[in-house]
Amino acid sequence: MQTTQDTTTNRPDNRPDNAKTRTPDNVSIKPQRMGFEFDEKNPRYWLDNSYILSHTMNALSVLFPQGEQFFVDSVRYFRDQITDPKMKEEVRGFIGQEAMHSLEHIAMNQHVRDQGMPVEELEKQLSVVLGIAKKLPKRHQLAITCGLEHLTAMMADMLLERNDIREDMHESMQPIWVWHAIEETEHKAVTFDVFQEVGGTYAERAFYLAFSTAMLGVVASAFTAQMMIKDPKHFSLKDTAKGMWRMWGRNGAFSSLIPTWLEYFKPGFHPWDHDNSELIERFKAKINEHIAPQFKNGNRRTLQ
């Protein structure tokens, strides 16, 4: 007589088909406050000494605190519907990590504000955009979060994979972005698994990836443009053209992500189909050297 275990088909990662979460066993989703500090050691144009590239990344940083609070809220709404112990633990870790990301990028954004950038005005504009998104049904908000988490996971993988991207960052700015990329990789499937668990449909997730990508593109471009307008004396057509090519030209930082972006539309897609957990192991020990002394023993402050 066959047992239930005998009749269960195993996935390539040795997890059964009915597993609620496919996060690899060697990946731990735990929050860590870093305590990054930003001052005169951080150059104004810290990415490839480029005006447009630095403003683009600064604009993305402005999005994180409110954006990640939106992510947390969209997941937390469904917490009571989750019964699987491992998924519940991963949701706790996800919420904690996103809280840490917000705190660290608030510190970076204050530094950008001190450089004369209109951070407060951009935050007000973002609040309006997110306010509109919050009027959508809760599961649709979760689908938006899944889409945006796919985008951040793609960018995180690129940053950890490509030496040229990391090496273009000033050494004082590498740690926050590498750390953020590591944790985005660790929790890249949490919102997707929750979405699947609460009955999310293929149509919802496919539509909201396209929707979220378009909205992120519009908002991030608008924020970058406003920063560039606020910093006109360093504008250069040559620098702008070079920066645009680095982002969208052949093997550009963003253009190279298009094939991975399209994978999300496969009906059977799962974020851990691409197991890049070895990147976490490769970078984590080194990035942990940057933890501020007061946070060496961990930090319990989260948005739970």
- Residues facing residue 169 across a β-bridge: 47
Farthest CA pair distance, the chain = 79
Q: What are the CA-CA distances from residue 304 to residues 93, 156, 295, 301 (Å)?
A: 9, 24, 19, 9
Q: What are the CA-CA distances from residue 66 to residues 77, 102, 298 (Å)?
A: 17, 8, 23
Report the Cα 18 to chain-centroid distance in Å.
27
- DSSP letter assigned to residue 172: T
pLDDT for the residue 174: 97
Instruction: Answer whether 136's CB lies under 8 Å from 73's CB.
Output: no
Q: What are the CA-CA distances from residue 200 to residues 92, 139, 219, 294 (Å)?
A: 20, 7, 26, 41
Q: What is the DSSP string of 40-69?
A: TTS-SS-BTT-HHHHHHHHHHHHHHHHHHH
pLDDT for the residue 11: 41
Q: What are the CA-CA distances from residue 260 to residues 13, 152, 254 (Å)?
A: 20, 12, 11
pLDDT for the residue 233: 84
Closest CA to 161 of 274, 242, 73: 274
pTM metric for this prediction: 0.90
Give just the sign of the alpha carbon dihedral 258, 259, 260, 261.
Answer: positive
Closest CA to 184 of 45, 60, 290, 85: 60
pLDDT for the residue 299: 56
pLDDT for the residue 298: 65
**What would the two tokens of residue 240 be?**
């702008």
Instruction: Answer whether 55's CB lies under 8 Å from 231's CB.
Output: yes
**pLDDT tens across 265-295, in order?**
999 999 999 999 999 999 999 999 999 999 9
Rg (CA), the chain: 20
Closest CA to 71 of 139, 126, 22, 141: 141
pLDDT for the residue 275: 96
Give pLDDT < 50 ranges for the chain: 1-16, 300-304
Q: In degrees rounded to 5, what are phi and psi of residue 142? A: -65, -35
Report the Cα 178 to chain-centroid distance in Å.
11
pLDDT for the residue 157: 97
